[in-house]
Structure 1
Amino acid sequence: MTTATLIAPTDVVSRPAHRDGNVLRWLAAYTSSMVGDSVYYIALSWAAVQAGSPSQAGVVMSVSALPRAILMLGGGVIADRLGPRRVVVGSDVVRCAAVLAVAALLFLTSPGLWPLAALALVFGAVDAVFVPAVGALPARVTTRDQLARVQGMRGLGIRFASVVGGPLGGLGVAVGGAAAAFALAGLLIAVSVPLLVSVRLRELPADDKAATPRGTAWSDLVAGLRYIRGHRVLAPLMLAIALGDLGFVGPLNVGLVLLADERGWGAAGMGSVLAGFGVGAGIASLLLTVRGRLPHAGRVAAFAIIAGSVAIGALAYAPSIVVAVGTALLVGLLAGLSGAMCGALLQTQADPAYLGRVTAVSSLVSLGLAPLSMPVSAAAIGAWGTGPVFVVSAAVCGLGGVVALAVRDLRRAELPK
């Protein structure tokens, strides 16, 4: 593995992140990897449907969730032990090799579902270390006063990947089937590797070096959990994030599909609502990218969560598709703002030596626990209808904002200037 190039903090203090070539190389690598992920999921879903029944395809698509949830906390320890860039580069190399291997297999033969399920398992296991390392990396490529802006830039990268990845994956399938789409995904992921290798890393301060994991993996994990539990901002922030995600994921995934069907909006109407949400979230990320910092970060996050929860509840009672799209745009704007602020607070409040483990805990909530609300939401909507379930989900989401307002240290938390 290439030895990391270290730079002193003073080398980049005066340069805004969106004008820093080092940060832009990181952003290009991250965006390319995310676009590759989007193409990969299109290819996987198409190949699974072609090779098996719809129920079998659903199993293949969900296989990655289990190893990701089980291994996520351990992935945070690995990211802090080995360094986030080394883990991200290694993860991208493994994912690229796995995707290209399946692409070659599909070009040569029709192997059925087993290689697709194996690929999904590999992706889930690699994601368990990739996600915490991705969360820990920004603190090593820029200064603390630029981390909020970097969070906004990361949000823009995610929105770009979601907009571009789907059509690219569809184009790959149309031109050469699932094999071509997998090959395209592998190449996009591969692009991120040389870009990441060229990124210069900031040297950790002496205090953070002392906190770098040095014991057993278990003791390091326990130390990270103890660090979060004892932190006056991170502990309540984790609870706020968990409540927000649990109340948000169900309605905006399964619930929205059932709401569109109930109202007769059709697939086009549902797509318009999702587009409204994406535009709103993109605006929030752009705002943070341009401004770089918003004052009263804790209060802004709290009020955005509460206002967003009200908008989620109102979405179920939208009288027309136009109103629904406008409401979804508001939900996206507020959710994007609260998510960006919470992410920026995580980045700036946590010591860099703990960021892998901190990111692992927050990601476990978002990627492991929150999706469990989707089947619950579907069953509840079948029993009581969309309106009551959206309102209850909104109340759960709003509790996250209440927690943020009720805890003084989180309410008064600020982003560094």
Structure 2
Amino acid sequence: MTVTPAISAYAPPAGDRPAHRDPDVLRWLGAYASSAIGDNIYYVALSWAAVQSGTPSQAGLVMAVSAVPRALLMLGGGVIADRFGPRRVLITSTGVRCAVVAAVAVLLLVSSPGLWLLGLLALVFGVVDAVLMPALGALPARITARGQLARVQGMRGMASRLANVLGAPLGGLGVALGGAAAAFGAAALLFAVALPLLTAVRMGRRPEQPSEEPAGQEPPARPTAARELRDGLRHIRRNPVLARLMVVIALSDLGFVGPLNVGLALLADERGWGAAGMGWVLAGFGAGAGTASLLLTIRGRVPRAGLVLSVTIAVGAAAVGALAFVPTVLAAVGVALAVGLLAGLSGALCGALMQTESDPAFVGRVTSVASLFSLGLAPLTFPVTGAAIALWGTGPVFAASAGVCALGGLAGLCSGALRHAELPR
């Protein structure tokens, strides 16, 4: 049967308590920020240890290992989040992260195990991420009112920017003071800080799976994981807003992540801007995204969210293409600021609409599909972007990527359901 979004029975009434004053939201946000800073430190430590233990190609392989289980297992992670509850899944997966990273830190202190240990760590992290990420996206809908979800997305964006600003320098400081072992130890400590915060979060009762059984009839046995996954995909397909939103997310991410993660470094090298110039451009992007998150946190709601989402993606696509044609670092910083502002706003609106349009019993599975595109498949464009720039140069590749992004915005504008989608008050 078709499930339509309804006000959750387990969330507080809309307007009952603003998210920025809700202790449960603030505990969740603190746990998220601590884990996100730990993530950044972990990646600095992993990359440093891999480079020290092997060749550059071997180090690149270690860094890429995590993407494989994320891509393969992400949809299953959404089933787990919905079946066992996102809070429980987050606590368990964060605990596993903490234990594994701490164990590696100790091993690096007492021995030199080599690349195999780092590869195993990256593999375990990828598996845990596949379970953690859908639960991370599903939890806000279980602890706050639907009308506060846009504000929560803004708060999450601000925490993410803070983690990016603090994490890498702290990771570098840890490596400088005590090597990779010290940096891994710092990451494990931050994961540990998140555990009591998550444990203290109070979550509403678990939503029941929609059922077609007649009243008074015994409910069927719990469906298999494969059946639950099919039900989640069917829920997306039958909801016109969610179905089109997934297309928008897939196209915009496939066109966006390659230029910003790989193409920007090659562009800076081509123009002679150097690492410092690339850093300034990235800082401009971060400042724009942080501003968008701050505005959404303060405002709490954007009228005509579906239309604004589609327009910002289309305009942001033009800004992405323009990056390859600006003549100076200062101009590139300005364009990157606009890209960050538009991408930050569209990303937060995507998350808020996805959570408000999903039936409560399916939020984890819906989140897992979006995460599969954003974090599982989109990074596979990195080598393609690099190879394409080597063949045709930065201008054509940035323009082609911008075209893919623009298709995402056009897909949203061509959908009446998404174009008229609104966030709850």
Q: Does 2:346 correspond to 1:342?
A: no
Q: Which residue of 1 aligns with 2:110?
A: 108
Amino acid at match of 2:69: P
**What is the DSSP-based 3-state SS (H/G/I as helix, E as strand, rest coil) of the residue aligned with 1:346?**
helix
CA contact (8 A) 1:48 1:60 kept: yes
Q: Which runs of 5+ in 2 are unaligned?
A: 1-8, 214-219
What is the rounded CA distance, in whole Å, between the counterparts of 2:418 and 2:14 in structure 1? 28
TM-score (norm 1): 0.96
What is the rounded CA distance, in whole Å, between the counterparts of 1:17 and 1:213 in structure 2? 37
Q: Does 2:182 correspond to 1:180?
A: yes
CA contact (8 A) 1:152 1:288 kept: yes
What is the rounded CA distance, in whole Å, between the counterparts of 1:366 and 1:304 in structure 2? 18
Q: Which residue of 1 aligns with 2:310?
A: 302
- Structure 1 residue 9: deviation in Å? 3.6
TM-score (norm 2): 0.94
Q: Which residue of 1 aligns with 2:42?
A: 40
Kindly provide the CA deviation profile for residues 28-62 of structure 1, in whole angstroms up to 9, marking residues without a partner as x: 01110111111100111111111111111111111
- Structure 1 residue 204: deviation in Å? 4.7
Change in Cα spacing, 1:269 to 1:144, as seen in structure 2 (3 Å) is: same
Q: Which runs of 5+ in 1 are unaligned?
A: 1-6
Kindly provide the CA deviation profile for residues 306-334 of structure 1, in whole angstroms up to 9, marking residues without a partner as x: 00000011111101110000000000000
CA contact (8 A) 2:11 2:143 kept: no
Q: Which residue of 1 aligns with 2:408?
A: 400
Q: Does 2:197 correspond to 1:195?
A: yes
CA contact (8 A) 1:214 1:220 kept: no
CA contact (8 A) 1:209 1:353 kept: no
CA contact (8 A) 1:138 1:150 kept: yes
- Structure 1 residue 214: deviation in Å? 2.9
What is the rounded CA distance, in whole Å, between the counterparts of 1:258 and 1:405 in structure 2? 33
Q: Does 2:247 correspond to 1:239?
A: yes
Amino acid at match of 1:178: A
Q: Which residue of 2 aligns with 1:71?
A: 73
- Structure 1 residue 254: deviation in Å? 1.0
Amino acid at match of 1:302: S
Change in Cα spacing, 1:82 to 1:104, as seen in structure 2 (3 Å) is: same
Amino acid at match of 1:143: A
CA contact (8 A) 1:142 1:202 kept: no
What is the rounded CA distance, in whole Å, between the counterparts of 1:190 and 1:209 in structure 2? 39
Change in Cα spacing, 1:116 to 1:205, as seen in structure 2 (3 Å) is: closer
- Structure 1 residue 203: deviation in Å? 2.7
What is the rounded CA distance, in whole Å, between the counterparts of 2:207 and 2:92 in structure 1? 25
Q: Which residue of 2 aligns with 1:22?
A: 24
**What is the DSSP-based 3-state SS (H/G/I as helix, E as strand, rest coil) of the residue aligned with 2:161?**
helix
Pairing of 1:73-88 with structure 2 (within 5 A): 73-88=75-90
Q: Does 2:232 correspond to 1:230?
A: no
Q: Which residue of 1 aligns with 2:146?
A: 144
Kindly provide the CA deviation profile for residues 96-130 of structure 1, in whole angstroms up to 9, marking residues without a partner as x: 00000000000111111111111101000000100
Amino acid at match of 2:183: A
Change in Cα spacing, 1:194 to 1:383, as seen in structure 2 (3 Å) is: same
Change in Cα spacing, 1:213 to 1:254, as seen in structure 2 (3 Å) is: farther
CA contact (8 A) 1:244 1:396 kept: yes
Aligned with 1:120 (options 122, 127, 131):
122
What is the rounded CA distance, in whole Å, between the counterparts of 1:213 and 1:333 in structure 2? 48
- Structure 1 residue 209: deviation in Å? 9.1
CA contact (8 A) 1:80 1:213 kept: no
Kindly provide the CA deviation profile for residues 1-36 of structure 1, in whole angstroms up to 9, marking residues without a partner as x: xxxxxx954478421101111110110011101111
**What is the DSSP-based 3-state SS (H/G/I as helix, E as strand, rest coil) of the residue aligned with 1:233?**
helix
**What is the DSSP-based 3-state SS (H/G/I as helix, E as strand, rest coil) of the residue aligned with 2:325?**
coil
What is the rounded CA distance, in whole Å, between the counterparts of 2:207 and 2:230 in structure 1? 23
What is the rounded CA distance, in whole Å, between the counterparts of 2:112 and 2:82 in structure 1? 41
Pairing of 1:266-415 with structure 2 (within 5 A): 266-415=274-423
Kindly provide the CA deviation profile for residues 318-372 of structure 1, in whole angstroms up to 9, marking residues without a partner as x: 0111000000000000011111111110011111210111011000001111112
Q: Which residue of 1 aligns with 2:101?
A: 99
RMSD: 1.8
